[in-house]
Amino acid sequence: MLDRKAADAVNCGMAVCSSPIRQSVTGLPAFGGSAARSLAVLPILGALSGQPAQAARPSHAPQPPFVFSECAALLDDDPEQTFDYIASHRVAGRERAAKRCEALAQVNMGDPAAAAAILDDLARSGSAAVDTDPDASRAAAATDAARAWLAAGRPSRAEASAAFGLGLAPTSTPLRLVRDRALLRLGRSEEVLSDVSSIPSDAANLPDTRLLRATAERMLGRLRAAHVDIDAAAAASPDDPSILLERGVIRQRLGDGLGARQDWERVVELAPDTHEGDSANQDLTLLASDPDTALGPASSASASATASPAPVGSVVRTTTTPSTAVSRSPAAPTLRRDADNMSLKPAP
């Protein structure tokens, strides 16, 4: 048997000899003295008893930080993935951005009214938020809110959200475009013409601004001017279903039934599972049943369906309102991949 000094030497060799408390590499205190000796022999006793020593629990890897652009990129293919993304990322300090992404997913999944209320609150309550966003970010939330209200068939709420956003970002083109779309829904075409004339018609905005002008002019009975503007919009974006849908309406009003049919057939080809595609199919059916009278000035299924230009950033820029064909009551807005039912990507 080892004498006392030999036993102490063995214990000291195991680095547990009596000493003041010190910090281990793991950050936990390492004890000296008799407590240390007891701890030191635990692995040995475990080995002698045939029981494995308890392994240290592996620490979980920290969650990566939440990034809004990464979350928004998931909205295109499967908006439900955004909820998994949010749950698996650290959102502390980014709660507002995460809430915005979650609301956008709600819109795309078919609940635009609830999402619009959330987005509206994000735009209006920034000063009370934990991670207060600057005015530009709040204005973007207001843009999203206005689009969601349009998707829910609430143009008055959409106009109010857009007007609030413009108080934060007076020169925002996306906000002006969405407000004008709401104004068209409210029948305020003259205001739209006045405003859209001052929106810069650069390459990015030209299809939207010309579509807005054409729709407002058509609603005011200025068909020749509307035809000029819608042709300019189509030249800038030839495969935009919303533009083709509106051009078909204008062409039919001007007596060009063949041109109208060609435009609507192209809409069905480009966007078969959208509100635009449905409206075009309805117009084609009416045109086939009565080419001369079925689509008079007040009865086109598309007459109000193109009253809104496309939102910014959508994969297919389409902008519709519920169809209002004669003999049918206005249909409730159907959320598919059409634009007023919210772009698949958020406002910039």
Taking CA atoms, 252 is separated from 32, 83, 185, 235, in Å, by 94, 45, 21, 19
Alpha-carbon distances of 344 from 76, 128, 340, rounded to whole Å: 5, 28, 10
The reported pLDDT for the residue numbered 100 is: 95
Helix, strand, coil % (nearest 5) of the chain?
55, 0, 45
What are the tokens at 90?
Answer: 């650290």
CA distance 164 to 11: 74
Please report, in tens digits, the pLDDT of each residue of the chain (348 residues total).
445 444 444 444 444 444 333 333 333 334 344 444 344 433 443 444 455 555 555 556 788 999 999 999 999 888 999 999 999 999 998 999 999 999 999 999 999 999 999 999 999 986 544 455 588 889 999 999 999 999 999 999 999 999 999 999 999 999 999 999 999 999 999 999 999 999 987 888 999 999 999 999 999 999 999 999 999 999 999 999 999 999 999 999 999 999 999 999 999 999 998 889 999 999 999 999 876 655 554 344 555 444 443 333 332 333 333 333 322 223 322 222 233 434 445 666
- Give the number of other CB atoms < 10 A from CB of residue 194: 12
Give the whole-angstrom CA distance, residue 257 versus residue 303. 15
For residue 345, the model assigns a pLDDT of: 54
Burial (CB < 10 A; 0-12, 13-18, 19+), residue 291, is middle
Phi-psi region of 64 (alpha: psi -120 to 50; beta: other; left: phi over 0): beta
Q: Which of 247, 255, 283, 258 is nearest to 268 (CA)?
A: 283
User: Which distant-in-sequence residues (6+ apart) come within 8 Å of 219 by Cβ?
Assistant: 184, 187, 189, 307
pTM (2 decimals)? Answer: 0.68
How long, in residues, is the chain?
348
Residue with tokens 């935009």: 240
Q: Cα(82)–Cα(70) distance, rounded to whole angstroms?
A: 9
Q: Which CATH superfamily is domain 209-340 in?
A: Tetratricopeptide repeat domain (1.25.40.10)
- Tell me the residue type at 234: A
| CA of residue 28 relative to chain centroid, distance | 46
- Give the Å distances, CA to CA, from 276 to 20, 31, 133, 196: 78, 74, 36, 23
CA angle 140, 233, 159 (to 5 degrees): 35
What number of helices (H) and strands (E) belong to the chain?
A: 15, 2
Answer whether 89's CB lies under 8 Å from 63's CB.
yes
DSSP structure class, residue 90: B
Q: Which two tokens stand for residue 252?
A: 């039919």
Closest CA to 142 of 106, 110, 111, 118: 118
Cα–Cα distance for residue pair 264/275, rounded to 1 Å: 12
